[in-house]
Amino acid sequence: MEHICLLNPINLSDNTVLESRVEHRRVFNLKHCELNIFETCHPCCNVSLSHNGLVISSMMRGKKRMSLSSAKAFDFLPGETVILPEGVSMKVDFPEADEKHPVQCITLVLEWDMVYRTLNFLNEAYPNKESPFEWKLNFSRYHFKNNRELAQSLNKLTSISMEDNMAKDALADLSLKILLLRVIQTQNLAAPAPVRDHRFGPVIHYIKKNLSEKLNIKTLAREACMSQSAFFHSFRENFGLSPLEYILKERINLAKNILVNSAVSISEACYQSGFNNLNHFIKLFKRIEGVTPKEYRNK
């Protein structure tokens, strides 16, 4: 089951010394990269994000609304990361930022020479034996959720950047190599599994559209134009999960997205994501995520 990992918290700047209330910036320089901590405590829109180098940006708190050229805008939330190549500008809105609900993110800007050297080293010394059979960044999959390994790498590099340590450039150099590998692995894991049977396309669409409603095998099998027994076995063969396990995974993911909004109660999140019993929802959530819905929100 997918588990979104938040980064370790970083203290907010003192409001009385902010140079700007929109993307106030703290910078920590390293030999091959710079760490930026951005904070916004005022609603605004059409802020341009662009840097010279590979950008790896991860949300700490709050919400941004982001769009890249003609692509559909998306919410950028805590526990998520985006990457951008050099020279690509992304438009950012801060619809909910204020004094009580500041937006904070970290943005790493990596020198391209270091990135290329690292990728070449990995491909020569440790060839990738799985698809796509090459260690490379995928800029078509630029927005993804943090897993535990990626979050640990981001936390480590952030901590090193803020140290007062003569060896921090050396430590950061090693950590950057690990971070790049973790980003690539996370992108590959985030890739949707190929659906070998085209009949499941309408089924998946139906599930996602009706997660808050009652779903059953009979209805899903009818969407796939299959008998119930054939549908059940074929679905498991395609997705590695039973239909009910797949629905549960999608409902838990929906609940996590809803829980990000602190204005929505735990019980509302439960019913909006398709569960009809609060105690059952809490038990399932803890079993799958390792924490209760309330603990997940507080983190």
Residues 272-281: pLDDT tens digits? 999 999 999 9
pLDDT, one tens digit per residue, over 164-207 is 988 999 999 999 999 999 999 988 776 555 555 567 888 888 99
Same domain, 44 and 178: yes
Separation in Å, CA 80 to CA 84, 151, 160, 174, 194: 14, 9, 21, 23, 23
For the chain, give the number of residues: 299
Q: Which amino acid is at 58?
A: S
pLDDT of amino acid 251: 92
Same domain, 183 and 208: no
Give the residue numbers spanning the domain of 276. 200-298
Same domain, 204 and 186: no
Question: How far, in Å, CA of 161 to CA of 169, rounded?
Answer: 8
Which domain CATH number covers 239?
1.10.10.60
Helices 200-209 and 243-259, interaxial angle, to 10°? 40
Question: How far, in Å, CA of 186 to CA of 171, rounded?
Answer: 22
Q: Which residue has the tokens 């969407």?
A: 223
Longest dimension (CA), the chain: 67
Same domain, 161 and 249: no
pLDDT of 1 > 50? The answer is: no
pLDDT band at 41 (very low <50, low <70, confident <90, very high): very high
Same domain, 108 and 244: no
- Per-residue pLDDT averaged across 142-164, rounded? 94
DSSP tag of 64:
E
Q: Kindly give, in sequence order, each residue whose CB lies less than 8 Å from that of residue 59, ignoring residues fewer than 6 positions away.
A: 76, 77, 78, 79, 80, 81, 104, 105
Same domain, 74 and 174: yes
- Per-residue pLDDT averaged across 11-23, rounded? 84
Here the tokens at position 124 are 């020569």
Tell whether 1 is covered by a domain: no
Here the tokens at position 2 are 């997918």
How far out from the chain centre does Cα 108 lie? 16
Phi/psi for 154 (5° steps) reads -65, -40
Q: Do 65 and 128 meet the contact criterion of CB atoms below 8 Å apart?
A: no
Question: Is the peptide bond prior to 132 cis by the omega test (within 30 degrees of 0)?
Answer: yes
Same domain, 122 and 186: yes
Question: How far, in Å, CA of 148 to CA of 13, rounded?
Answer: 27
Number of domains in the chain: 2
Residue after which a domain boundary falls, among 159, 190, 221: 190
Tell whether 40 is covered by a domain: yes
pLDDT of 296 > 90? The answer is: no
